[in-house]
Amino acid sequence: MIKEIIVVEGRDDTAAIQRAVRAETIETGGSAINEDILRQIELAQARRGVIVFTDPDHPGERIRKIISARVPGCKHAFLTQEEARRKGDLGVENASPEAIRKALSRVRTELPEGEETYDDVTMADLIAAGLITHPHASERRLELGKRLGIGYANGKQLYKRCRAFRITREEFEAALAYVRGKGL
């Protein structure tokens, strides 16, 4: 059984999580996350810890940001869009049990805002790697995010995630070598 409570968007996500692992969930009700749910997440974080596991789309990222801003130090699990897609529908509920277990095995803990800063990977590193202001920057960020297990992000958000999830220079360089090896 997973110790932390997993935050998902809805009932179908809970069912998918429970097919993959033994865990308890809190459902946000999709984009309609409200004050009562946020208080539940705060309590869960204080008592057992929380893993945020939202869909790899814009509404899922919005929910993730709302939770991160309100509840410091959350853990995060990410699925790629390929892992979460079935018949044109995108969401945690579409992922295989194996993909869910893999994402949960790669959970990253977010550095709470205001705590020590983490500057191993710089914005200059992202620019030099062609992850920002490059014709294939978006594709490169997608592959890098998959390799690091931190999901897709635009350039600014990738920098923030590298800091928040304490991505080391070694992790960054290894993932970048993989991306370059794919010809991107």
Taking residues 107-118, what's their average pLDDT? 70
pLDDT number for residue 31: 84
Q: Note whether 104 and 134 are same-domain residues.
A: no
Q: Note whether 70 and 39 are same-domain residues.
A: yes
pLDDT number for residue 124: 93
Q: Note whether 71 and 161 are same-domain residues.
A: no
Q: Name the 3-class secondary structure at 53.
A: coil
Residue 30 counted as domain residue: yes
Place of tokens 């490059």: 134
The residue range of the domain holding 156 is 123-181
96: CATH = 3.40.50.140
Residue 55 in this model has a pLDDT that exceeds 60 = yes
Residue 145 in this model has a pLDDT that exceeds 60 = yes
Taking residues 110-136, what's their average pLDDT? 81
Q: Note whether 103 and 155 are same-domain residues.
A: no
pLDDT number for residue 118: 61
Q: Note whether 18 and 70 are same-domain residues.
A: yes
pLDDT number for residue 119: 65
Q: How confident is the model at residue 110 (pLDDT cuts 50, 70, 90)?
A: confident
77-80: which pairs have CB atoms within 8 A and are 24 or more residues apart?
77/6, 77/51, 77/52, 77/53, 77/103, 77/104, 77/106, 77/107, 78/103, 78/106, 78/145, 78/149, 78/150, 78/151, 79/53, 79/55, 79/103, 79/151, 80/56, 80/146, 80/151, 80/152
The whole model's pTM is what? 0.84
pLDDT number for residue 112: 64
As for how many domains the chain has, the answer is 2
Residue 176 counted as domain residue: yes
Q: Note whether 136 and 176 are same-domain residues.
A: yes
What CA–CA distances, in Å, run from 178 to 95, 148, 181, 183, 184? 24, 10, 5, 9, 9
